Amino acid sequence: MINIPQVKMGVVAVSRDCFPLSLSESRRKAVVAACTEKDIEVVELQTIIENENDVVKALEEAKQTGINSLVIYLGNFGPEGPLSLMAQRFDGPTMFVSAAEEATACLQDARGDAYCGMLNASHSAGLRKVKVHIPEYPVGTPTEVADMIGDFVPVARTILGMKGLKIFSFGPRPQDFVACNAPIKALFDLGVEIMENSELDLFDIYQQAEGHADIPRIVAEMEAELGDNNPYPDLLPKLAQYEAALLDFHKDNLGASTFGIFANKCWPSFEKFFGFVPCYVNARLAERGIPVACEVDIYGALSEYMITCATNHPATLLDINNSVPADMVEANPEAMGNYTDKDVFMGFHCGNTAPSCMKNSALRFQKIMHSLMEPGEEPNITRGTLEGQIKPGATTLFRLQSTADTKLRAYVAQGDILDIDPQSFGAIAAFGIPEMKRFYRHVLVQKRYPHHAGIAFGHVAKTMYQVLDLLGVEEIDYNQPASERYPNEIPSVFLG
């Protein structure tokens, strides 16, 4: 993964001057030792913050050690002013955690009162309008605090990725795809840059890449990756030229940003001029941490990137596409498990899912486009999808979206990709989400979310919820259990 940040986590202890500084120091050392036992990499800052002068020293130590994320550890009550100033001045995601009392024997002379100090720390951070991550229960033993730090790593990675992100878009959205609206003000509110380009710009950089020195190498990689599932070897040089063009553009146009992703036009005029569909290239770039969202879906690209950072694994973008037929449900009782026929749907796109996320895949042609663009002919300009069954396993549906009036909202829902042969075309799989029919109606439909969902290969709802909280996104929807009613849902007492 070449396009996501590497987290370098620091731990700094704080101490109120009326408490023994040694208490915070010994407790910090115990936390770092617990992190080492759990293979959680942390940098132990030696400065202990008691006052503002210590903040200056700690910030310099943080700079010298190169940390980009910070745990502020209340080994005792802690000085709320200096510790919140440290969070404000540190240029990276920050977490507050505090120490639990070790034993009854410590309560007379080695009581830390960090349980109380956390309240003041949170209050002080709020006064400074500093957004810090605070775990669900931020008080713990060294082992428990180490687990909190481990949970914070993917949160920090996602925040760092967005902080250094630029989205490259090419072309207007296809006709009737207004659902993927993309007001850019909300991107700037998040600290994300955007560079909008035309379809002609994309065609221009593709033409300029003709004869690119990397084309033979990319073709060889594609041949090795596809193996026997490559019915169109003559197409690979064109696809390789397109990949080389996008990677060069990515490298040359990051500017002040560190990471870049794409939201590109991919139909209907694309095929006529480029002579292929770009799906397989999109899949290959997603494999490297550079999602390329279909249909100029800017917030889809952002959502893909966020879950790529959260999982440290490729993600994909799929249509929440079609229902699963009753006979397919009945034929797969083992794969269905506890899911009902109303909990399942098929997630589909033309062929943009990373090869490592596919159970089986092959280079194919886009069936729908072929019927429109090349009816009755052998596939030519509609070739270039990577099709097959998406790999089964844990999954999270996620989307961050700006409304037309630039308000951010998001949804997150965990479930499973089921090991059911979808018996259809494209990159596709059957998905099971608990209470999906209600989530579909009372979140996706009711709140007018687009049909594209970011698909994470793992359960990361907790991480995404924490990320959204740090970003200040207040409207976060999820698939509520049967016992919880959606605000707009008809009460069960009124149903016949």
Encoded tokens for 50: 């008691």
Residue 315, classed as helix, strand or coil, is: coil
- Find tokens 């990689």 and name the residue: 221
Round to the nearest angstrom and report the end-to-end CA distance of the chain: 53
Choose the final residue of a domain: 106, 128, 162.
Answer: 162
Distance CA 491, CA 496 (A): 11
The CATH number for 156's domain is 3.40.50.10940
Domain hosting residue 147, numbered range: 9-162
Closest by CA to 171, choosing from 297, 276, 257, is 297
**β-strand pairing of 69-74 with 408-418:** unpaired
Residue 170 lies in a domain: yes
Position 145 in a domain: yes
Residues 154 and 106 in one domain: yes
Residue 70 CA to residue 12 CA, distance in Å, equals 7
Q: Which amino acid is at 306?
A: M
Pair (83, 121) in one structural domain: yes
The reply to whether 18 falls in a domain is: yes
Which one-letter amino acid corresponds to residue 218?
I
pLDDT for 302 = 98
Total number of domains in the chain: 2
Q: Say if residue 146 is in the same domain as residue 174.
A: no
Are residues 87 and 112 in contact, defined by beta-carbon separation less than 8 angstroms?
A: no
For the range 269-274, what are the long-range contacts, defined as Cβ-Cβ under 8 Å and sequence gap of 24 or more? Answer: 269/199, 270/199, 271/369, 271/373, 271/381, 271/382, 272/373, 272/381, 273/203, 274/203, 274/206, 274/238, 274/242, 274/381
Whole-number Å distance between alpha carbons of 143 and 33 = 9
Single residue among 143, 162, 181 that ends a domain in this structure: 162
Note whether 169 and 101 are same-domain residues. no
- Asked whether residue 139 falls in the same domain as residue 212, the answer is no
Cα-to-chain-centroid distance, residue 466: 12
Q: Are residues 173 and 315 both part of a single domain?
A: yes
Q: What is the DSSP letter of 325?
A: P
Q: Is 174 helix (H, G, I), strand (E, B) or coil?
A: coil
**What secondary structure does DSSP assign to 415-459, as a single string?**
EEEE-----SSSEEEEEE-TTHHHHIIIIIITTT--SEEEEESS-
What residues contact 92, with CB distance under 8 A and at least 6 apart?
Answer: 67, 68, 69, 70, 156, 159, 160
Residue 1, in any domain of the structure = no
Rounded CA gap, 96 and 26, in Å? 18
Residue-level length of the chain:
496
Name the packing angle between helices 461-471 and 142-163 (round to 10°): 60
Instruction: Quote the CA–CA distance of 48 and 28 in Å, as a whole number.
Output: 10
Global pTM reads 0.95
Q: Rounded to an integer, what distance in angstroms lies between the CA atom of residue 429 and that of residue 433?
A: 13
What residue type is 382 in one-letter code? T
Q: Is 343 exposed, middle or buried (0-12, 13-18, 19+ CB in 10 A)?
A: buried
Q: Measured in whole angstroms, how far is the alpha carbon of residue 453 from the centre of its chain?
A: 11
Please check whether residue 496 lies inside any domain of the structure. Answer: no
Position 244 in a domain: yes
Structure tokens given for 400: 């961050």
pLDDT, position 102? 82
Angle between helices 298-311 and 142-163 (to 10 degrees): 150
pLDDT at position 442 is 96
Cis amide bond preceding 231, omega within 30: no
Dist. CA 222–CA 420, nearest whole Å: 27
From edge to edge, which strands make up the β-sheet containing 193-197? Answer: 193-197, 165-170, 259-264, 292-293
Residue 360 lies in a domain: yes
Has residue 490 been placed in a domain?
A: no
Alpha helices per DSSP H over 140-235: 142-163, 185-190, 199-208, 215-226
- Rounded to the nearest 5°, which phi and psi values hold at 22? -60, -25
pLDDT at 112: 67
- Contacts with 336 (C-beta within 8 Å, 6 or more apart), sequence order: 329, 344, 418, 420, 432
Among 162, 193, 210, the domain-final residue is 162
Sequential pLDDT tens for the chain (496 residues): 689 999 999 999 999 987 888 989 999 999 999 999 999 999 999 999 999 999 999 999 999 999 999 999 999 988 999 999 999 999 999 999 999 988 776 767 777 688 999 999 999 999 999 999 999 999 999 999 999 999 999 999 999 999 999 999 998 877 777 767 788 999 999 999 999 999 999 999 999 999 999 999 999 999 999 999 999 999 999 999 999 999 999 999 999 999 999 999 998 899 999 999 999 999 999 999 999 999 999 999 999 999 999 999 999 999 999 999 999 999 999 999 999 999 999 999 999 999 999 999 999 999 999 999 999 999 999 999 999 999 999 999 999 999 888 999 999 999 999 999 999 999 999 999 999 999 999 999 999 999 999 999 999 999 999 999 999 999 999 999 999 999 988 887 676 6
Residue 140 shares a structural domain with residue 207:
no
C-alpha 224/C-alpha 222 separation (Å) is 5
Given this model, what pLDDT does residue 181 score? 76
Taken in order 451, 457, 458, 463, the sign of the CA dihedral is negative
202 and 311 in a single domain? The answer is yes
| Per-residue model confidence (pLDDT) at position 182 | 82
SS3 at position 126: helix
CA dist 315 and 319 (Å) reads: 14
Same domain membership, residue 197 and residue 149: no
Instruction: At 445, list the tokens.
Output: 């439909």
Residues 53 and 75 in one domain: yes
Do 63 and 168 belong together in one domain? Answer: no
Let me know whether 257 and 398 are in one domain: yes
Hunting for tokens 């729908």 — which residue is that?
A: 368
Task: Judge whether 477 and 411 are in contact, CB under 8 Å.
Answer: yes
